[in-house]
Amino acid sequence: MRPGRLACRAVSEAADPRPAQLPLPGGRPGATVRVHPMRTGTIRAMPRFLQRPGGPLGTLRGLGLLTPRSRWTDVPIPAFAVEHPGAGLLMVDTGLHPAIADDPREGLGRLGALALNVTMRPEWAAPVQLRGLELDPAAVRAVVMTHLHYDHAGAVAEFPQATFVVDGVEWAAARSGGMRHGYRRALFDHPFDWRLLDFDAQEVGSHVTFGRALDLFGDGSVRLLSTPGHSAGHLSVLLRLGGDRGLLLTADAAYARRTIAEDLVPVFMDDEHRYRRSLGEIRRYLEQFPDTEVVCGHDAEGWPAVRDLYA
């Protein structure tokens, strides 16, 4: 089998996820992390990608079907490597599947490859970028999935040794959904160590403006924030850097900083009410902590200012 190629799997080889038992091992009091943002590819987005047009048929008009592709914009598809002093190396999302660099059908399927204008180079794959940072992909011990859309979960198969953490609601949506909803089961449904979060459990607390939050390692260094709306079980991640500074990875709860500043509702989302509520929690948090660094999900304007390292 060619490296990076998706294998056909029997049903018995599908994932058998278990409830997440937090905190995961490795937490240290006062721990801070080092974060390496990585652009794993780009996707061509219609002009109203960030803001759905108002009025009748807003979603349909927002698709830009009659807009020349010259007016569309390439937006980044990120993933993040996180170094924790006790828990070791982890990832937040995995980015695109490496095979897309050679044949988009391998990572997107035949219809996805026809419908989506995705650009990827072999050197953009998350494992390749990790090696360029002198980090071993085989040393990744945990992967936090903000959600399971194809552009975030594409390279799951590249980290078979890791523990994968995802909202249980998102897992259920992804298993029952298809590419029309952004999911491709062949990308993520591998017999790995999948752990499902339950943000509705009694022991789940809040964090500042976020109504539901979990502490991944029990030391405050990596907080998982329930921000549904873009997808059924979407989550964002708040990381503690040195000097008691914060880095908020909104993922697709906010495509761009403009989304937060201007209260923009995008073309695509699972639930508008929950999306607006999650965006409000993000906005109120940043109002209270304006020095927090923020990296949004697909921010073409903001990506050039994203640092190589946050520490």
Query: Is 3 inside a domain boundary?
Result: no
Query: Is 181 inside a domain boundary?
Result: yes
pTM: 0.93
Q: Residue 47: pLDDT band by 50, 70, 90 thresholds? A: confident
Q: What CA–CA distance (Å, rounded) separates 255 from 251?
A: 7
In whole numbers, what is the pLDDT of the chain averaged over residues? 92
Residue range 205-244, pLDDT digits in tens: 999 999 999 999 999 999 999 999 999 999 999 999 999 9
Query: Is 2 inside a domain boundary?
Result: no
- 223 CB burial (10 A radius; 0-12, 13-18, 19+): buried
Q: Residue 9: pLDDT band by 50, 70, 90 thresholds? A: very low
Q: What CA–CA distance (Å, rounded) separates 53 from 139?
A: 45
- 225 CB burial (10 A radius; 0-12, 13-18, 19+): buried
Using the structure block, give the residue that is written with the tokens 């992967």: 143
Q: Please tell me whether residue 154 adopts helix, strand or coil conformation.
A: coil
Query: Is 214 inside a domain boundary?
Result: yes
pLDDT of residue 267: 87
143: domain CATH number is 3.60.15.10
pLDDT of residue 60: 57
Residue range 128-159, pLDDT digits in tens: 999 999 999 999 999 999 999 999 999 999 99
Mean pLDDT of 262-291: 96
Query: Is 5 inside a domain boundary?
Result: no
CB contact at 8 A, 79 and 95: yes
Query: Is 35 inside a domain boundary?
Result: yes
pLDDT of residue 1: 36
Query: Is 168 inside a domain boundary?
Result: yes
Q: Please tell me whether residue 272 adopts helix, strand or coil conformation.
A: helix
Closest CA to 64 of 88, 41, 45, 40: 45
CB contact at 8 A, 31 and 84: yes
Percent of the chain at pLDDT exceeding 90: 83
pLDDT of residue 49: 84
Q: Residue 5: pLDDT band by 50, 70, 90 thresholds? A: low
CB contact at 8 A, 297 and 20: no
Residue range 102-122, pLDDT digits in tens: 999 988 999 889 888 999 999
Q: Which residues pair with 214 in a beta bridge?
A: 224
Query: Is 184 inside a domain boundary?
Result: yes
Overall domain count for the chain: 1
Q: Which domain holds residue 127?
A: 14-305
